[in-house]
Amino acid sequence: MSPAQVTKNSQSNGSEYPYPLERGTQRNEAATRLRKMMVEAHIDPTKIVQHPIAWDGLTARLVEEAGFPMVFLGGYAVSASHGLADAGYLGFAEMVHRTLEVCRVVDVPVMVDGDTGYGNEVNVRRTVQGYAKAGAAGIMIEDQVSPKQGCGHTKDKKVISFDDAISRIRAAVAARNEGVDIFILARTDAHIISYEEAIRRAKAFFDEGADAVAIEAITSVDEMKRSRQDLGPNIPSFINIIEGGKTPSMSYDDLAAMGYCSVAYPLTLLAAGIKAMRGALQGLLRKTESPDMIMRFEDVCSAVGFQEYWDLAEKLTKVQ
């Protein structure tokens, strides 16, 4: 979707859906598509939406090329692409720039990690509206302190108070309702306080108007099942599966059976990429030649979009 591809809109319900498919005062076609996808998966978990995390235009293209129905632009991976840890180094400007980059090269809906909203409620409002105008279909906002001190599965993370967390999500929802539509995923990291506090916050976030919720870093299969039951049948729920992280790794079929509508894989592409690049570098260092794993040049050109460029150039040349 191109940036700010929006029109005037009034909130509406699809007649066959129990949730609004459009929100905000300006319609965002990508947000509507994403919301419909998630509502359908919530109603019928066999349609659970899987999405590996991307971090730039190339990885977003690869996710779309592989057949995934959406792209999630994750803060951990984007930070890593800058050579930095996901510990509050990046801010609004870097993420909006990357959002524009990704939304220009894929047609599937793009959800973007909004972290803490990068400050107080005014900053949260700017973040939500900025992402929407950049072309994002969705945004994830969490209740860690700002600036954040780590990803959801690293040590020493801290969360803001319940009241401050509610104010943050309320600001995000108001920004959506008063401007360009965007799907809001409200995430709580309050499991570090207690399971009960995480459930309390997730329910409150949904009551404030979030489209879906996520409880980060659930530590057992039992709690994964319980959380879906305790949240009740009306709240769509996401989950993050990080290989080697705190949450048990499970198949998406098992997650669907629990009732999750969506599962993100924040580390899969990044970890595979780091391992592959290190292997290629070591092979080159030892053999002083390109390792066997290297793709053909023609395939690389295709992956990065040269064929599209050549086709377009030929078409425009014929027009002249």
pLDDT digits (tens, 9 = 90+) for 246-305: 899 999 899 999 999 999 999 999 999 999 999 888 888 887 666 677 888 888 888 888
The CATH number assigned to the domain with range 6-275 reads 3.20.20.60
Asked whether the predicted pLDDT for residue 72 surpasses 60, the reply is yes
Q: Output the average pLDDT for the chain.
A: 91
Rounded average pLDDT over 53-62: 98
Distance CA 8, CA 135 (A): 16
Tokens (6 digits) for 158: 């801290």
Asked whether the predicted pLDDT for residue 310 surpasses 90, the reply is no
CA 110 to chain centre: 7
User: For the chain, how long is the longest CA-to-CA vector?
Assistant: 66
| CA-to-CA dists, residue 280 to 234, 266, 291, angstroms | 48, 23, 6
For residue range 1-38, what is the model confidence (pLDDT) as tens digits?
434 443 444 444 444 677 889 999 999 999 999 999 99
pLDDT at 6: 38
**Long-range contacts of range 191-195, CB-CB < 8 Å, 24 or more positions apart?**
191/215, 191/216, 191/217, 191/218, 191/219, 192/157, 192/158, 192/159, 192/217, 193/159, 195/223, 195/226, 195/227
Cβ neighbours of residue 117 closer than 8 Å, sequence gap 6 or more = 123, 124, 127, 128, 141, 146, 168, 171, 172
Pairing mode of beta strands 71-73, 49-54: parallel
Query: Could you tell me which of 181, 91, 187, 77 has the C-alpha nearest to residue 135?
Result: 181
* Total-model pTM: 0.90
